[in-house]
A and B are shown apart, each in its own frame.
Chain A
Amino acid sequence: GAVVSQHPSRVICKSGTSVKIECRSLDFQATTMFWYRQFPKQSLMLMATSNEGSKATYEQGVEKDKFLINHASLTLSTLTVTSAHPEDSSFYICSARPLRTSGGADTQYFGPGTRLTVL
């Protein structure tokens, strides 16, 4: 149980294009989903927190117009990187917090990540 999928797993795009990444909780409902960014050999940096049916909360320094988040249902959140540039190239990971969990109220389950390369 507690499986989170991300699609696509890898994407290469040209500078100036937009890329949409989907995050789905497959076997549970998630009250909250999180979007992280991870640079090589570095830690996870929280970009934004999204709750189903409401606007996402962005961390300081993260442009909300650049990284559009839509949390359409309790099992799906999407991150759209608009007008992508090479500096947006990174590993984007989502996580989902279940409505009910035995691991603890703040348990998060991570997706496999999406590696974005902007040429």
Chain B
Amino acid sequence: GQQVMQIPQYQHVQEGEDFTTYCNSSTTLSNIQWYKQRPGGHPVFLIQLVKSGEVKKQKRLTFQFGEAKKNSSLHITATQTTDVGTYFCAGKAAGNKLTFGGGTRVLVKP
């Protein structure tokens, strides 16, 4: 079945630094979504990417969908303590359910 993997599993970042988390699917996706879950909270929808090679920005967050529509990345610049949480990607292949990756748990060192 469809598998979605995220790396790294944990990301310790110094405040002010940049980092990237990666998402890879075993199958070609029709779209990919990113969610953020704060500690003790629930997933909050961030963005959806649909087109091959698509790049979208939300302030310090840059999301990219790979040309082959099998991978995606989230790049955060100038990390802040408010960025703490787990970032999940979720991929959907045509006709299939949304499959969540394992998440990248981000800890920010002040």
- Any B CB within 8 A of the CB of A112: yes
In the complex, A12 has a CB within 8 A of chain B = no
Q: B42, B92, B99 — which one has the most chain A CB atoms within 10 A of its CB?
A: B42
Q: Secondary structure of the A side of the interface? A: loop
- Is the Cβ of A41 less than 8 Å from the Cβ of B43? no
Chain B residues 26 to 72 lying within 8 A of chain A, measured CB to CB, are 31, 33, 35, 41-45, 47-48, 50
Binary interface profile of A, 91-117, with partner B (CB < 8 Å = 1, else 0)? 001010000000110111111110000
A42 within 8 A of B: yes
The interface residues of chain A lying within 8 Å CB-to-CB of B43 are: 44, 93, 95, 110
CB distance from B31 to the nearest CB of A (A): 6
Stretch at the interface among B14-22, B76-84, B101-109: B101-109
- Tell me the A43-94 residues at the B interface (CB within 8 Å): 43-46, 49, 59, 93
Going nearest first, the 8 A-B pairs with the smallest beta carbon separation are A104-B48, A110-B42, A44-B100, A110-B43, A43-B102, A113-B42, A43-B100, A112-B42
